[in-house]
Amino acid sequence: MSATISDGSGGGIFTGKRLRWLAAGIVLLNGFFPALWILATAFKSEIELTAKPITWIPHSPTLNNFIAAFRDQPLPHYLLNSAVVALSAMALSLFISALAAYAIARLNLKYRGAILTSIIAVSMFPLVTLMVPLFEIMRGLGLLNSYWALVLPYTVLNLPICTLILVSFFQDIPRDLENAAMIDGCTRLGALWRIVVPLAAPGVFTAGILAFVNAWDEFLLALSFNPAAAYRTLPVGIQMYQGEFSFPWPTISAALVIAMIPVVVVILIFQERVVSGLTSGGVKG
Amino acid sequence: MSGVSLQKVTKVYDNGTKEGVKIIHGIDLEITQGEFVVFVGPSGCGKSTLLRMIAGLESISGGTISIEGRVVNDLAPRERDIAMVFQDYALYPHKNVFENLAFGLRLRKFSEDEIKKRVNDAAAILKIEHLLERKPRALSGGQRQRVAMGRAIVRQPKAFLFDEPLSNLDALLRSEMRTEIKKLHQRLGATTIYVTHDQVEAMTLAQRIVVLSGGNIMQVGTPDAIYNQPVSKFVAGFTGSPPMNFLQGSLGVCADTATVLLTDGVQLPLAASWLPRLAGAHGQEIEFGIRPEDIGIEAGAGFGAERAAMSGTVVVAEPLGAETLVTFACAGGEVIARMPPSVNYRPGEAATIYVDMQKCHLFDRANGVAL
Ligand SMILES: Nc1ncnc2c1ncn2[C@@H]1O[C@H](COP(=O)(O)OP(=O)(O)OP(=O)(O)O)[C@@H](O)[C@H]1O
Ligand SMILES: [Mg+2]
């Protein structure tokens, strides 16, 4: 067997194109299977879930789990908290990282390389190591049990990745577009908001989606900084379905499905707007 | 009245060293209001840098720049009331043509009626009325260029700045747009600074040409002066297509005659009018310059009284339709001559050519300065 990987027309299973399909399949399965399984579970009764052999498609789909999810915990309140926190963190991250990215992409900064490297380095700190100092800071500021207790850390945690994404998009926008805007009457910041950011829309949306999802999903800080029920976000709230002796899988699945819906909606809306090639035509190319 | 005035303008780029690298070396230039001035020079000579300093896109390291009498050194581009047309057009890709033109007016808080009126007027002048709804990506190169010019003229600025606006267009479109730009200037009469490295554009458009090299002004003058009285070999070699021919030689000067001694013993008698300028120049090493149209094949025909003969060999003949360019090897070098299309030379053929000695140029070989 001396079959080569690069030979796409070869006969083996693990060659060329097929290998790529296999890899793609594994990634898809890994990503979608849990989600699909949760989706299926959300419509099953507790009895069907524990029955053997296991069923894939619910036999007698029921909405009872959803009713239970809304009855057992203040789900809309959790949703609202998560939405406030995630959207604020997203907006703040985008605003600040746009300014940072513009400076890195455009001004001839002396230590540009060092700044970029340290941004990447900072983004690699494990969250656990940051948790205690962050907790101390939040307590010192008296911000525990508030939206700010999560919005501020989420923003900070999102900044590196958002900045890196925006830098690479800003760099591709011809400088003369900004120059033209400044001659037309914009200030430098005006040119950033009116010309650069709209043209980097695919990058802005990508960074925005990441920032939103990161904040929406975050559990550790949410659990530690906002223990009060009033500021509980979804990931923490869903935890509350779990009783001392019970683990209501179908109800939790229903709550998870509801938690996933906003993310899916946000991605669908943004994806629509992520039109590549938006910048083509403005300059000669 | 002064349109744009440059006084001792310098530009230094930071390159890590304490003194930096100097790109523009003290430019002095007065451009009167309504004048069309062209900056020409080889690539990297600082044309764009100088233009962008006038626009406010580059800082000014030294000296002063004023526009209509107001010093603009510390003003942002938007406060200078100028408009610029870029080489790559720089149209806003996410705005349609109307909004591209209207952008500057909106920022300056013009009324909606005024915006409509100005945009439509500009569109009519540039014949782009039918394109107003389109996005830039749906336009051809020539149309984009027109839109870019439209964006400049709607604002009715104090000065127009062009940075090689035609260099991305094909030859035909380029000459068409060149004519358009000239017409536009005749119509609007606005102060215009136009950067190019195309000497044809410079000659055809300019009221005055500024020849730059290495961040210095080599010569400022009308196209006619630049073409016929170049102050240096550099300027002479920059205009004309094909450019001036140069042959190496030396001067033989006596009391009442002067001669150019070329290699291979070729001697060309200079016109008597040269004598006063050549006192004491006997033996000086020079470059003899002659333009292709000042070389003929027949003694007399179409030439002034003073002409000198040289024998040479035909190297190559390039018929262009209206004329034929013939390269001759002679006097230790090669010269290109502009000949009538009827000439019929074969490569290698021996020929006698005639040089119009009243039109010749002499340059000091050491420093290139015209004698
Ligand atoms: N940011 C910079 N730092 C250092 N040197 C620079 C910088 N920008 C331009 N230069 C140098 O300045 C010189 C002039 O550049 P400029 O763009 O004005 O040339 P140009 O005459 O417009 O040439 P071209 O005809 O190729 O457009 C060049 O030698 C260039 O390398
Ligand atoms: Mg240039």
Whose structure tokens read 């008296």? A142
DSSP letters, A146-208, are SHHHHHHHHHHHHHHHHHHHHHHHHHTS-HHHHHHHHHHT--HHHHIIIIIHHHTHHHHHHHH
Residue A281: the pLDDT is 42
Pick the residue of A199, A279, A284 with the most B CBs within 10 A to test the interface with B by mutation: A284
Q: What is the 3-state secondary structure (H, E, C) of A103-158?
A: HHHHCCCCCHHHHHHHHHHHCCCCHHHHHHHHHHHHHHCCCCCCHHHHHHHHHHHH
For B45-56, how does the pLDDT look when each residue is reduced to its tens digit (9 = 90+)?
A: 999 999 999 999
Residue type, B362: L
- How far from each other are the two terminal CA atoms of chain A, in whole angstroms? 48
Ligand nearest to the CA of B22: 1
A45 vs B317, more confident? B317
With contact defined as beta carbons under 8 Å apart, do B354 and B297 qualify? yes
Tell me whether residues B90 and A176 touch, CB distance under 8 A.
yes
Quick check: do B2-238 and B245-364 share a fold? no
Where does the pLDDT of residue A21 fall: very low under 50, low under 70, confident under 90, or very high at 90 and above? confident
Task: Compute, in angstroms, the gap from residue B92 CA to the centroid of ligand 1.
Answer: 25
Q: Does the structure show a pLDDT above 50 at A38?
A: yes
With contact defined as beta carbons under 8 Å apart, do B208 and B35 qualify? yes
Pick the residue of B91, B110, B131 with the most A CBs within 10 A to test the interface with A by mutation: B91
Size of interface A-B (CB pairs under 8 A): 88
In CATH terms, B245-364 corresponds, of 3.30.450.90, 3.40.630.30, 3.10.129.10, 2.40.50.140, to 2.40.50.140
Paired sense of beta strands B21-32 and B159-163, if any? unpaired
Residue A3: the pLDDT is 42
Question: Is the distance from the beta carbon of residue B342 to the nearest atom of ligand 1 less than 6 Å?
Answer: no
How close does chain A come to B293, measured CA to CA in Å?
37
- The chain A residues in contact with chain B (CB within 8 A) are 174, 176-177, 179-187, 190, 195, 198-199, 278-284
| Architecture of the domain defined by B2-238 | 3-Layer(aba) Sandwich (3.40)
- Output the CA angle B140-B43-B202, nearest 5 degrees: 65
Ligand nearest to the CA of B214: 1
Residue B299: the pLDDT is 56
Q: Does the structure show a pLDDT above 90 at A28?
A: no
Pick the residue of B67, B88, B135, B158 with the most A CBs within 10 A to test the interface with A by mutation: B88
Measured between alpha carbons, how far is B297 from B330 in angstroms, rounded to an integer? 14
Which residues of chain A lie closer than 8 angstroms to B76, CB-CB?
182, 187
Residue A2: the pLDDT is 43
The residues facing B40 across adjacent strands are B211
CA A214 to chain centre: 4
With contact defined as beta carbons under 8 Å apart, do B65 and B6 qualify? yes
Tell me whether residues A278 and B82 touch, CB distance under 8 A.
no
What distances in angstroms separate CA A89 from CA A152, A157, A159, one per listed residue?
7, 10, 10
Which residues of chain B lie closer than 8 angstroms to A179, CB-CB?
52, 55, 57, 77, 84, 86, 90
Residue B4: the pLDDT is 92
Measured between alpha carbons, how far is A162 from A104 in angstroms, rounded to an integer? 13
Residue B368: the pLDDT is 85
Which residues of chain A lie closer than 8 angstroms to B78, CB-CB?
182-187
Average pLDDT over residues A206-211: 88
List b or e across B127-156, with b for residues whose CB sees 16 or more CB atoms inside 10 angstroms: ebeebbebbbbebeebbbbbbbbbbbbbbe
How close does chain A come to B119, measured CA to CA in Å?
14
Where does the pLDDT of residue B240 fall: very low under 50, low under 70, confident under 90, or very high at 90 and above? confident
Q: Does the structure show a pLDDT above 80 at B1?
A: no
- Residues contacting residue A104 through CB under 8 Å, at least 6 positions apart: A112, A115, A116, A163, A167
Residue A285: the pLDDT is 39
Measured between alpha carbons, how far is A154 from A148 in angstroms, rounded to an integer? 9
Residue A280: the pLDDT is 41
Task: Compute, in angstroms, the gap from residue B34 CA to the centroid of ligand 2.
Answer: 23
Which residues of chain A lie closer than 8 angstroms to B155, CB-CB?
184
The whole-chain average pLDDT of chain B stands at 89
B108: contact with A, CB 8 A cutoff: yes
Average pLDDT over residues A73-85: 91
Residue B84: the pLDDT is 94
Which residues of chain B lie closer than 8 angstroms to A195, CB-CB?
92
**pLDDT exceeding 70 applies to what percent of chain B?**
98
- Provide ipTM, 2 decimals: 0.84
**pLDDT exceeding 90 applies to what percent of chain B?**
52
Which residues of chain A lie closer than 8 angstroms to B151, CB-CB?
180, 184
Tokens read off for B59: 């800082």
B296 vs B111, more confident? B111
Work out which ligand 1 atom sits closest to the CA atom of B212: 21
List b or e across B301-337, with b for residues whose CB sees 16 or more CB atoms inside 10 angstroms: eebeebbbebebebbebeeeeebbbbbbebbebbbbb
Kindly list the domain boundaries of chain B, sorted by start residue: 2-238, 245-364
Where does the pLDDT of residue A13 fall: very low under 50, low under 70, confident under 90, or very high at 90 and above? low
Average pLDDT over residues A16-37: 85
Residue A12: the pLDDT is 59
Question: Is the distance from the beta carbon of residue B100 to the nearest atom of ligand 1 less than 6 Å?
Answer: no
Neighbours of B338 (CB within 10 A): 18
Nearest to B91 among A182, A183, A282 (CB): A282
B88: contact with A, CB 8 A cutoff: yes
Average pLDDT over residues B252-271: 83
Task: Residue window 17-46, chain B: list those with CB within 8 Å of chain A.
Answer: none
A238: left (phi over 0), alpha (psi -120 to 50) or beta: alpha
Residue A7: the pLDDT is 43
Where does the pLDDT of residue A273 fall: very low under 50, low under 70, confident under 90, or very high at 90 and above? low
Closest residue on chain A to B139 (Cα)? A281
**What is the SS3 assignment for A9?**
coil
Task: Compute, in angstroms, the gap from residue B39 CA to the centroid of ligand 2.
Answer: 10
How close does chain B come to A242, measured CA to CA in Å?
51
Residue B357: the pLDDT is 85
For B161-174, how does the pLDDT look when each residue is reduced to its tens digit (9 = 90+)?
A: 999 999 888 888 88
For A174-197, how does the pLDDT look when each residue is reduced to its tens digit (9 = 90+)?
A: 999 999 999 999 999 999 999 999
Tell me whether residues A182 and B94 touch, CB distance under 8 A.
no
Task: Compute, in angstroms, the gap from residue B79 CA to the centroid of ligand 2.
Answer: 23
Q: In what order do the strands lie in the sheet with B258-262?
A: B267-269, B258-262, B245-253, B285-290, B361-364
How close does chain A come to B322, measured CA to CA in Å?
34
B231 vs A46, more confident? B231
B77: contact with A, CB 8 A cutoff: yes
Which residues of chain B lie closer than 8 angstroms to A273, CB-CB?
none
Please, what are the domains in chain A?
Answer: 16-62 (no CATH), 68-273 (1.10.3720.10)
Pick the residue of A169, A177, A183, A189 with the most B CBs within 10 A to test the interface with B by mutation: A183
Residue B366: the pLDDT is 87
Where does the pLDDT of residue B301 fall: very low under 50, low under 70, confident under 90, or very high at 90 and above? low
Task: Compute, in angstroms, the gap from residue B142 CA to the centroid of ligand 2.
Answer: 20
How close does chain B come to A211, measured CA to CA in Å?
25
B149: contact with A, CB 8 A cutoff: no
With contact defined as beta carbons under 8 Å apart, do B107 and A185 qualify? yes
Helix B141-153 to helix B97-107 angle, to the nearest 10 degrees?
A: 20
Residue type, B188: L
Measured between alpha carbons, how far is B202 from B199 in angstroms, rounded to an integer? 5
For B89-139, how does the pLDDT look when each residue is reduced to its tens digit (9 = 90+)?
A: 999 998 999 999 999 999 999 999 999 999 999 999 888 999 999 999 889
The whole-chain average pLDDT of chain A stands at 83
Tell me whether residues B78 and A281 touch, CB distance under 8 A.
no
Residue B245: the pLDDT is 92
